[in-house]
Amino acid sequence: MTQMILDQQRIRAANEIHPTPDVKFAYGTAGFRMQADKLDSIMFKVGIIAALRSLKLNGATIGVMITASHNPEEDNGVKLVDPRGEMLEQSWEGLSTELANARDADTILSVIDSIVAKYNINVDNKANVIYAYDTRPSCPALVASLKDGLDAAGADSTDFGLKTTPQLHYLVKCINTKGTNDAYGEPTEEGYYVKLSEAFKTLMKGKPAMPTISVDCANGVGAPKLKEFLKYIDSNVWSANIVNDDIKTPGKLNYNAGADYVKVQQKAPLGAVLNAGDRYCSFDGDADRLVYYYADDAGVFHLLDGDKIAGLAAMFIMDLVKTAGVDSINVGVVQTAYANGSSTKYLTGQLKVPVSFVSTGVKHLHHEAEKYDVGVYFEANGHGTVLFSPEALNTIKTSEGRTPAQNTALTQLQALTELINQTVGDALSDMLLVEVILTHRHWTCQEWDQAYTDLPNRLAKVVVADRTIFKTTDAERRLVEPQGLQQEIDTIVSKYSNGRSFVRASGTEDAVRVYAEAATRTETDSLALAVAQLVYDRGGGVGSAPSI
Ligand code: NG1
Ligand code: ZN
C-alpha cells in the first residue's frame, strides 16, 4: 500500500457511508451521468480522482462540475476539468471507471495504488481542486460526498457554489494561468462577467441596439447567471428578457424547455409565445448549449442550431481576418455526423472553409479545433465555441493595421478572443457572439437563416438490451457491428432522395440514437422510422416498437 497523503482510514470510512451500488459505471461522453440516487459513491471517488490528477500535475488546480446538463431533473452527473479548462484527459477515463466500479475498500485502495504507480504520482505534492454545481435538488448531498473524497485525499478544495458549467471551466483556467503571460482572467464569477461584458461593449460600440431578445434558461442555473450579467450591460446597448427562470419549483428544470427540448422537438419551449420578427434563444440546464429560433410571418417555427451558429461565426471571423489584413490566419470548422448535410455543403461550397468530422462529444471537437489557427466547433445541438491558437492570438495582438479600417478590425478580433469562452462551449458567451454578429450585419434571425436551408432531420432513440454491441467507425458515421447492419441501413437510405442516416450508441443515455435526414419531412420521418425499426429488430430492441 502507498504511503501517500491519502488517508486510508478515511477512505474506508467514506466507503462505508457511500457504498457502491450494483451498477455498471462508465466515464462517458460527459463524465458519469445517471439517476442522482445512484451517484453517491461516485462522488467521493471522483474527489479522490480529482486529487490524484492534481497531484500528477504538480498541484495544478482541477475542476469538478456537478450537473446533468439537459437531462431530467432527477438525473445528475459529474465531470472533471483539466487545468487549462479542458475536459479530463481521455487516458484517465478508464481509471476513473475502474475506481467507480470498485466496491470494497481493499479494491478501492488497490486501484488508487495502481493509479499512483502508473502515473508515477508524487504524493508529497498538495492537491488543489475546485468544484461547483447546478440547481438540481440532488446537488447538496452529492457535494457532501465529493467533499468526503477530497478530504480523504488530503486535497485543498474550494466550493465555488452555484455556477454554469462554462463558468467552472473559466475559473479553472484563470486559477492555473494567474500571474503568467497568458493569464486568462480574474478567477471569480465577477471576473467572468467583467471580461465578457468589456469585450461585448467594445464590439457593440457605435452600433444601434437591436430589439430585446428572449432567452429561455430552461429553469436552470443560466437564469440567475444571465440576470447577474445584465447588471454589467447598459440596457440601451443590449437587453434580454429572461423566460423559464424558475429554479425553485421542483420538476421544472429542463421540463419542456431548454436548448435540447427545442432542438429535438423542433418547437418553441413552454412559456415562449413567438412573435414574427423577434429573436429567441434557449440555453440548456447548465448553460453550455445554445440554439436560436424565430417564427416567420406565417407563424412557422424555424430553428437556428449549432450548425447555423458555426456558419455564422466562421463567416464573420473570416471576413474580419481579411479586413484586418491578417489573412495568414486560417479558419476551420469541426462538425460531427449530426451536422445537417446542408450546413456542411454551405461551409465547404460557399464559405470555402475546411471542415473536419470527429466523433460525438466536445472533447473530440475541441482537440480537432486546436489544429486550426481559428477553430470553430459546434455540435448541432448548440454546444461549441471558437478556439484561437496561441500564434493567432499573438498575431492579432501584435499586428498593426495600415488603415483605420484594419485597426478597427484588429480591435474587434482582439475583443472576440475575449468574448468567446476559450475553454468550452458557453451559452452566454456564444449568445453574445451571435448578438454581436447580427448587430454588425443588421440582420434579423430570418436573414441569418437565409445562408442555407436545413434538410429536414429527425433524431430518434431506440432502447436495446445491450447498446455496447453497436460499434462504429469513420467518425461514428458507419457501423461495423452488429455485422451486416450497415449494409441494411445503406439499402434503406438509397431509397430516399438526399437521404442520410446513421446509428450509434449514446454515451450519456442507455439507448441507441438514430439520425436521419432526407429531402422532405415525410421522407425523413419514414427513413428514421425504417432505420429505427431495423435497429430494434436486429439490435435486440426492448419495450414497444419505435414510433416517430
Ligand atoms: P450522446 O448521448 O453520446 O449522444 C449527447 C449529445 C452529445 C453531447 C453529449 C454530452 C447528441 C446527439 N448527443 O451525447 O452531442 O452533447 O450528450 O452532453 O446531441
Ligand atoms: Zn449542458
Site to substitute for ligand 1 among 266, 468, 508, most atoms within 8 A of C-beta: 508
Choose one of 414, 449, 484: the last residue of a domain: 449
CB distance 58 to 84 below 8 Å: no
- Whether 350 and 526 have beta carbons less than 8 Å apart is answered as no
318 and 430 assigned to the same domain? yes
- All three cell numbers of 362, joined, read 466536445
Q: Are residues 225 and 277 in the same domain?
A: yes
Residues 22 and 148 in one domain: yes
Query: Domain range for residue 336?
Result: 306-449
**287 within a domain of the structure (yes/no):** yes
The CATH number linked to 432 is 3.40.120.10
User: Is 410 inside any structural domain?
Assistant: yes
- Tell me whether strands 471-473 and 478-481 are parallel, antiparallel or unpaired: antiparallel
**Residue 375 placed within a domain:** yes
Minimum CA distance residue for ligand 1 atom 17: 508
Do residues 147 and 51 share a domain?
yes
Residue 170 forms part of a structural domain: no
- What's the rounded Cα separation, in Å, for the pair 222 and 224? 6
Tens digits of per-residue pLDDT, 59-80?
Answer: 999 999 999 999 999 999 999 9
Q: Which residues are catalytic?
A: 69
Q: How far apart are CA 223 and CA 272, in angstroms?
A: 15
180 falls within a domain: no
Cα 459 to ligand 1 centre (Å): 11
Are 26 and 92 within one domain?
yes
Ligand nearest to the CA of 253: 2
Spell out the SS3 assignment of 403-438: CHHHHHHHHHHHHHHHHCCCCCCCHHHHHHHHHHHH
Per-residue pLDDT tens for 125-156? Answer: 899 999 999 999 999 999 999 999 999 999 99
Residues forming the annotated binding site?
69, 284, 286, 288, 379-381, 504-508, 513
Which of 162, 178, 204 terminates a domain? The answer is 162
Cα 488 to the center of its chain, rounded Å: 33
356 and 421 part of one domain:
yes
The one-letter amino acid code at 534 reads L
CA separation for the pair 423, 413 (Å, rounded): 18
**313 and 437 within one domain:** yes
Confidence of residue 122 (pLDDT cuts 50, 70, 90): confident
Q: How much is the pTM?
A: 0.95
pLDDT at 1 over 50: no
Distance 383 CA to ligand 1 centre (A): 9
Q: Is residue 121 part of a domain?
A: yes
Residues 280 and 210 reside in one and the same domain:
yes
- Among 449, 482, 513, the domain boundary falls at 449
**Segment 257-314, tens digit of pLDDT:** 999 999 999 999 999 999 999 999 999 999 999 999 999 999 999 999 999 999 999 9
DSSP conformation letters of 467-534: GGG-EEETTTTEEEESTTHHHHHHHHHTTSTT-EEEEEE-SSSSSEEEEEE-SSHHHHHHHHHHHHHH
Q: Does the pLDDT of residue 3 top 80, yes or no?
A: no
Q: 215 has which bridge partners?
A: 242, 281
Binding site membership for Mg(2+): which residues? 69, 284, 286, 288
Across 158-181, average pLDDT = 98
Q: Which of 27, 29, 75, 87 to mutate to test the pocket of ligand 1 (most atoms within 8 A of CB)?
A: 29
Mark the binding-site residues for substrate, compressed into ranges.
Answer: 379-381, 504-508, 513
Q: Mean pLDDT over residues 479-486, rounded?
A: 96
Residue 2 has pLDDT above 50, yes or no: no
Residues 435 and 487 in one domain: no
Asked whether residue 379 falls in the same domain as residue 247, the answer is: no
Asked whether residue 547 is assigned to any structural domain, the reply reads no
Rounded to whole angstroms, the Cα distance separating 526 from 11 reads: 54
Q: What is the mean pLDDT of the chain?
A: 95
Same domain, 116 and 215: no
Q: Which three cell numbers stand for residue 263?
A: 432542438
- Strands 500-505 and 355-357, how do they pair? unpaired
Is any ligand 1 atom within 6 A of the Cβ of residue 511? Answer: no
Judgement on whether residues 310 and 296 belong to the same structural domain of the protein: no
Q: Is the pLDDT of residue 508 over 70?
A: yes
Tens digit of each residue's pLDDT (9 = 90 or more) over 406-457: 999 999 999 999 999 999 999 999 999 999 999 999 999 999 999 999 999 9
Query: Which CATH number characterizes residue 477's domain?
Result: 3.30.310.50
**What average pLDDT score do residues 237-266 get?**
97
**27-41, 324-338, 401-415, 523-537: the lowest-pLDDT one:** 27-41
Kindly report the number of other CB atoms within 10 A of residue 86's CB atom.
Answer: 20
Q: Is the peptide bond before 482 cis (omega within 30 degrees of 0)?
A: yes
Task: For residue 108, give the nearest of 200, 42, 24 by alpha carbon.
Answer: 42
Residue 282 lies in a domain: yes
Count of structural domains, the chain: 4
Distances in Å between the Cα of 207 and the Cα atoms of 195, 232, 369, 497 are: 20, 18, 31, 44
